Structure 1
Amino acid sequence: MRAIAFVSLLLLSACASNQTPYVLNTRWKDAPVPAAADYADPASWSALPNRFDAADLVPKKSGFSDGQSNAKADVFFIHPTILTYKPENEYVWNASVTDAALNVRVDSSTILNQATAFNAAGRIFAPRYRQAHYQAFVTEFKEDKAAALEVAYSDVKRAFDYYLAHHNNGRPIIIAGHSQGTVHATRLLKEYFDGKELGKQLVAAYIIGIATPKNTFTNIPVCANPSQTGCFVAYTTFLQGYLPPWHPGTVTDLASVNPLTWSLDENFASKEKNPGGVSYGFKYVKQFADAQNHQGLLWTNTPYVPGRSFVKLKNWHKADINLFYQNIRENAVHRVETFLSQK
């Protein structure tokens, strides 16, 4: 059992690390753009509540169950960048939503390990979209980044429009995203919710994995306690004591909500406040990690399983949700219940 836990931790850390992505040698303007998705076609969605898919699963031995059939709220989930490798077809800057191999990667990684954290709180709608290649976030050419992300967001926006027209029917909404998904979720929140009529339906936004200033929105504040609604949760996870190169080393205006306490203070929260996370292979692990806000970052010690001393990872970006899976799951349910009680 100890050996299995150690191997799982090593594999999780490998997934969470910033492995060297493939570098594109083509400019965006010189690459073909795949056809836009038709969101009336169920195949254009990674997750829909009226069919069985990866978003319906729960970790074994967790005691959780999928609650979508009785849910009174909806979750619009936008997945992160999965296209980090050498593209296997001509669509190098923006992925095709009909790329079967990539779709399997999306469903078996982010939908399984991240979107499922919300399946007790609401019906999950997760669109496939022409995600931008990882290079959009590191390229020196700003116009390439802007163009690739614009294509990706145009899909997310059309998917959300389809969801509003055909599925929402005035139901409360959770917006959730990670990494590139958070980039698009933030833009969606500004365009559809911030100071808009639809803002009255916003339970909360979980926009995780991107450094997000506290004043990103005009009318959507940072969540400062576990019961607040109409607010947003944001944090980025690094090893305790580590400051990434981009961090100024002083107090910042970045939002960081501790997912073990749902507060903005910098008090340390021990692993005892973490009932369970999800490790590699969608395995449930009790008291998986601790957490502490520090100058706009979320610090965590290496997850508490045997062999942890051998893992030297400093950036836990890809495990932002895995580490605090049950806390997020329970909090999303609580915010929905609070939102409904206020109506």
Structure 2
Amino acid sequence: MRLFLIAALASATSALAEGPAPDFANDSAWLCRPGRSDACAVPIAVTAVAANGTTRPDALPTPKMAPQIDCFYVYPTVSTDQTPNSDLVIDAAERNVARVQFAQMRQVCRPYAPMYRQVTLKGLRDAMTGQATTADRAMAYQDVAAAFAHYMKHDNQGRGVILYGHSQGSGVLKALIANEIEGKPAAAQVIAAWLPGTNVLVPEGKPVGGDFKVMPLCTAADQAGCILSWVTFRNTATPPASARFARTSQPGMKVACTNPAALRGGKAMMRAILPAGPSIVDNSTPVPVWASGASVTTPFVSLPGLLTGECIDEGGAQRLSIITNADSADPRTDEIGGDVIVAGQVQADWGLHLIDVNVALGDLLALAPAQAAAWSKLRQAAQ
């Protein structure tokens, strides 16, 4: 991981070509910050759709007037800029992903989300199709590292913080933890790191020692200073040998799987909070009819009892397996979406990547206060 910073320095010429690095002293360099009318201050109401088709408001955690903890969020690959790396202009794509994945967290923490020059969807597609690309992942890392350093110096003020990413964002945070947090003073402020949608490697049968040398995987809700990571697939789909997630070729290593709904293992009902409209990217998938005859007017929907999740290790692939408890006789939908679709074809190697976060969002909202309390208890004991 330390080599990542060397690569970042080597990319300085490329960074100049993409424009100046962000100045995180400027308000415009942040997608979300506390107390603003921004991408994280949007409506987040949820409608629960029961199996019998009836609907009711689904309560989110009561918002804290002055949350005692922070969340530092790095969004996934969503930029529609037609360059290998994105600019720093807040577009509809960035606003939408913050709405879908992060706005709800304002109920439990102060929201911080930096803009960064991420590898764009175009850059990702070029790499996937074998085309030449100048996409620079080190540039993305540099921006987030600078944002975190600014946050720690000017905003943190000794508060606990949850590091929260998805996909490319989780990958960047994985490097940030290895380079700038583990073994350094910032580690004392980290309540937990939530890193869905990327492969976090651990030695077989051990909770720590692969990608991270100090921070272990979380195995209980009342544990702090630990890592959550998972990649999501339907229980009916074994990740193919070419899968981007859930598999590793590194000897003795496994891909971490921590189910936010069942950190001790086993099956559990997932408290999914799904977008009632577009997902984190537009893949032309029709929005489901959540239940015949039901009207959903809120931006989010929950489907109590529909989804069960379990971390499994089968066929050489470690993943969060999602079971849809379907009943064709009831009026509620049995479709949840979440697949990556290219040219009308489901990409099996991605699994349910588009809903890695939302399939467990209700569980994360419940987990944040528990982990924060555990962190606070550890801090008090150390004083």
TM-score, normalising length: structure 2? 0.71
- Structure whose residues are more often strand by fraction: 2
**Structure 1 pair 94–268 and aligned structure 2 pair: CA distance change class (3 A):** same
Pairing of 1:148-187 with structure 2 (within 5 A): 148-187=136-175
CA distance in structure 1 between the partners assigned to 2:337 and 2:109 by the alignment:
35
Pairing of 1:1-343 with structure 2 (within 5 A): 32-56=17-41, 57-60=43-46, 61-64=57-60, 67=63, 69-83=65-79, 85=80, 87-88=81-82, 92-98=83-89, 100=90, 103-108=91-96, 110-134=97-121, 135-136=123-124, 138=128, 140=130, 144=134, 148-214=136-202, 215-245=210-240, 246=242, 253-263=254-264, 265=265, 267-269=266-268, 273-281=269-277, 282-287=299-304, 288-295=306-313, 296-302=318-324, 306-308=332-334, 313=339, 315-342=351-378, 343=380
**Structure 1 pair 182–312 and aligned structure 2 pair: CA distance change class (3 A):** closer
Percent identity of the aligned residues?
A: 22
CA distance in structure 2 between the partners assigned to 1:41 and 1:277 by the alignment:
32
CA distance in structure 2 between the partners assigned to 1:312 and 1:341 by the alignment:
37
SS of residue matched to 1:211: coil
Count of aligned residue pairs for this structure pair: 300
**Structure 1 pair 125–29 and aligned structure 2 pair: CA distance change class (3 A):** closer
SS of residue matched to 1:53: coil
CA distance in structure 2 between the partners assigned to 1:127 and 1:40 by the alignment:
11
- 1:268/1:292 contact within 8 Å kept: yes
**Structure 1 pair 309–181 and aligned structure 2 pair: CA distance change class (3 A):** closer
Q: Which of 183-192 and 64-73 deviates more? A: 64-73
Cα drift, residue 243 of structure 1: 2.2
Q: Which of 330-339 and 303-312 deviates more? A: 303-312
How far does the alpha carbon of each residue in 1:236-259 deviate from its partner, in whole angstroms, 9 at most, with x for none? 001103222235699961110112
**Structure 1 pair 70–140 and aligned structure 2 pair: CA distance change class (3 A):** same
Q: Which of 110-119 and 278-287 deviates more? A: 278-287
**Structure 1 pair 189–312 and aligned structure 2 pair: CA distance change class (3 A):** closer
Cα drift, residue 31 of structure 1: 10
SS of residue matched to 1:82: coil
**Structure 1 pair 221–139 and aligned structure 2 pair: CA distance change class (3 A):** farther
What's the counterpart of residue 15 of structure 1?
A: none
**Structure 1 pair 252–298 and aligned structure 2 pair: CA distance change class (3 A):** farther
How far does the alpha carbon of each residue in 1:166-212 deviate from its partner, in whole angstroms, 9 at most, with x for none? 10111111100000000111111112221222211110000110121
SS of residue matched to 2:171: helix
TM-score, normalising length: structure 1? 0.78
| Amino acid in the other structure paired with 2:45 | P
Cα drift, residue 113 of structure 1: 1.4
SS of residue matched to 1:290: strand
Of structures 1 and 2, the larger Rg is shown by 2
How far does the alpha carbon of each residue in 1:25-80 deviate from its partner, in whole angstroms, 9 at most, with x for none? xxx96994133222111111110002122323432433225735411111110000
- 1:73/1:172 contact within 8 Å kept: yes
Q: Which of 53-62 and 178-187 deviates more? A: 53-62
SS of residue matched to 1:227: coil
Unaligned runs of 5+ in 2: 1-12, 47-56, 203-209, 278-298, 340-347
Unaligned runs of 5+ in 1: 1-27
- 1:66/1:119 contact within 8 Å kept: no
How far does the alpha carbon of each residue in 1:71-100 deviate from its partner, in whole angstroms, 9 at most, with x for none? 1111110000002x5x35xxx1111112x5
- 1:58/1:66 contact within 8 Å kept: no
| Amino acid in the other structure paired with 2:256 | A
CA distance in structure 1 between the partners assigned to 2:372 and 2:146 by the alignment:
25
CA distance in structure 2 between the partners assigned to 1:30 and 1:140 by the alignment:
23
How far does the alpha carbon of each residue in 1:129-155 deviate from its partner, in whole angstroms, 9 at most, with x for none? 11112334636589845xx11111111
RMSD (Å) for aligned C-alpha atoms: 2.9
**Structure 1 pair 290–198 and aligned structure 2 pair: CA distance change class (3 A):** same
CA distance in structure 2 between the partners assigned to 1:206 and 1:41 by the alignment:
27
